[in-house]
Amino acid sequence: MNNFSYELQVSKEPTIGLVVLQADQRIELDMRQLFDPITNMHITRIPSGAEVNTDTLMKMENDLPAVTSLLPRAANFDVVGYGCTSGTSVIGAAKISELIKSSCKTRWVTEPVSALIAACNHLGLSRIGLLSPYVEKVSKTLCETLQASGIETPIFGSFNEGTEEKVVQISPQSIFDAAVKLDTKEIDAIFISCTNLNTLPIIKEIENEIGKPVLSSNQVLAWHMAKLAMAGLSQNCIGCLFEVNKL
């Protein structure tokens, strides 16, 4: 047997982690588009209910430490993102941060709700229209969380769909058609909620149609993770994300 010596190479690229819902078929694809290929991205999955309601969302709180611990133990993460907008509003951003930091080494934790608030503050947005795939009851807690941060949601639209496997199949054209029908006269922007919606192809088109910024869950989450980790965003980023990222 030949014995060889070796040198250890330490990565200097940003290292990010992502907690993805078991039912989510969209967020991984979007994050691969939104981040530069050089970013070290590690992903773990968390059990999630086929039906979306406050009970199934709350159950993820118990699983967060275990699934986060499955991220590489040797990695020192710059930021770990939790990929669920409605789940964050039910469990609470502070609790999510506490649970994730208890199970892996990371400087920062974020999720779509904190990311949206940060993006709104950066852009000076205080009144947004909310477009969600879920029934109003599920989105009510999100609206209350935003209200507590000084962001009003006077306009609400929904596809009234509670089954995740159907949410991911809602076409970009359907999202576009719904968004442009919202009454935008008294709002600053539109937020399209849910990490399982295919929003990236039509964000710019909606902005062009309504003449106002359009934000989505995966878009603001990618921006906030990149901002916290000082990581690069891919040129595939589109729409208002470019403006949000001008720090």
Q: What is the pLDDT of residues 141-151, one digit of tens each?
A: 899 999 999 99
The domain in which residue 35 lies consists of 15-111+220-238
- Percent of all residues in the chain with a pLDDT value above 70, rounded to a whole number: 94
Q: What is the domain count for the chain?
A: 2
Local structure of residue 108 (DSSP, 8 states): E
Residue 246 within any structural domain of the chain: no
Classify residue 103: in a domain, yes or no.
yes
Tell me which H or E stretch contains 81. strand 77-83
Q: Which residues, at least 6 apart from 178, have a Cβ–Cβ distance to it below 8 Å? A: 131, 157, 159
> What is the structure's pLDDT at 245?
46
Specify if 93 maps to a domain. Answer: yes
Residue 107 sits in the same domain as residue 176: no
CA 45 vs. chain centroid, Å, equals 14
105 Cβ contact list (under 8 Å, min separation 6): 75, 76, 77
Residues 84, 51, single domain; the answer is yes
Closest CA to 162 of 19, 59, 83, 49: 49
Residues 182, 148 within the same domain:
yes
Q: Do 121 and 100 fall within a single domain?
A: no
Q: What is the pLDDT of residue 246?
A: 42
User: 247 pLDDT band (50/70/90 cuts)?
Assistant: very low
* pLDDT one-digit tens code per residue, 66-116: 999 999 999 999 999 999 999 999 999 999 999 999 999 999 999 999 999
How confident is the model at residue 238, as a pLDDT?
A: 46
Same domain, 211 and 118: yes
127 and 99 in a single domain? The answer is: no
Please report whether residue 29 resides in a domain.
Answer: yes
User: Which pLDDT value is given to residue 215?
Assistant: 96
pLDDT winner (highest mean) among 46-50, 101-105, 237-241: 101-105
- Verify that 201 and 130 share a domain, yes or no: yes
CATH, residue 39: 3.40.50.12500
Asked if the structure places residue 87 within a domain, the reply is: yes
Query: Is residue 168 assigned to a domain?
Result: yes
CA-CA-CA-CA dihedral for 198, 204, 210, 213, to nearest 10? 90
Distance (Å, whole) CA 14 – CA 159: 37
Do 38 and 118 belong to one domain? no
Query: pLDDT tens-digit profile of 142-179?
Result: 999 999 999 999 999 999 987 888 999 999 999 999 99
Q: Does residue 103 sit in the same domain as residue 147?
A: no
> Would you state the pLDDT for residue 189?
97
Give the C-alpha separation, 17 to 159, whole Å: 30
Same domain (yes/no): 107, 229: yes
pTM (2 d.p.): 0.92
The Cα diameter of the chain in Å comes to 75
Considering just the CA atoms, what is the radius of gyration of the chain in Å?
A: 18
For residues 138 and 241, give the distance between their C-alpha atoms in angstroms, rounded to a whole number.
26
Rounded CA gap, 43 and 56, in Å?
Answer: 21
